[in-house]
Amino acid sequence: MIDWELKGVEFANCNCDYGCPCQFNALPTHGDCHSIAAYRVDEGHFGDVDISGLNAIGVYWWPEAIHFGNGRTLLIVDERASEAQRSALLSILNGEHTEPGKTIWNVIAATFSEVLPPEFRPIQVDIDVEARTGTVKVDDVIKMHGEPIRNPVTGEPYRARIDLPDGFEYTIAEMGSGSSTSTGPIPMTLENSYGQFAHLHLTNSGVVHP
């Protein structure tokens, strides 16, 4: 197993209501799961390959709850990455070189019946976890916008967090509202649905706790 470590931030948007029942081991809001996740690697390595400063996108689709399987996935990796860096990021995001069940990517890897060929494109990522804001653009294929949840009466930003001490993705995630589109091989439109902003610190053995 190749030793790896990744520190960065994530903005994920799915079709569930705010809070996302999946975070509580419940069935998804609408019975299916469609999501896009953007990752910015601030520091990281895969063996002796430095992956710092690179971006990646995961586009995911399941016809029912994730654990029922039959999902489809497309990974998009920063075109700035070298061949070695591309291979490194794809290995991590495909759940490889990871202790079983220890990261989100390793867990969901077992649920896909179709893994599309990866794409390498320019990826623009702007994520502020504490502000619950995010803007992501990949050519004309992916667009993501994240903002705070708003109080329906006053319109003021509302803050809520999910704390998962034994989670396999993050320790604490800030909740927000996301709207995204994908026009690639896995098309989807998400509007004012579950948005998740989190700091990530993961290794082969899972989440690194402060």
pLDDT digits (tens, 9 = 90+) for 163-186: 999 999 999 999 999 999 999 899
Cβ atoms of residues 52 and 6 within 8 Å: no
Structure confidence at residue 196 as a pLDDT band (50, 70, 90): very high
Predicted local confidence at residue 102, as pLDDT: 96
Nearest CA to 177 out of 8, 15, 9 is that of: 15
Residues 100-108, mean pLDDT to the nearest whole number: 97
Q: Average pLDDT, whole number, for the chain?
A: 97
What pLDDT score does 25 carry? 92
Instruction: Answer whether residue 141 shows pLDDT above 90.
Output: yes
Distance CA 150, CA 139 (A): 29
CA 27 to chain CA mean position, Å: 19
Q: What DSSP character marks residue 15? A: S
Q: What is the mean pLDDT of residues 148-175?
A: 96
Span 137-146, mean pLDDT?
A: 97
Q: What is the C-alpha separation between 119 and 137, in angstroms, rounded?
A: 14
Predicted confidence at residue 210, as pLDDT, reads 79
- The C-alpha atoms of residue 204 and residue 6 are separated, in whole angstroms, by 10
Nearby residues of 26 by Cβ (< 8 Å), 6 or more positions away: none
pLDDT at residue 154, rounded to an integer: 95
- CA-wise closest residue to 19 among 193, 198, 200: 193
Task: Determine if the pTM surpasses 0.75.
Answer: yes
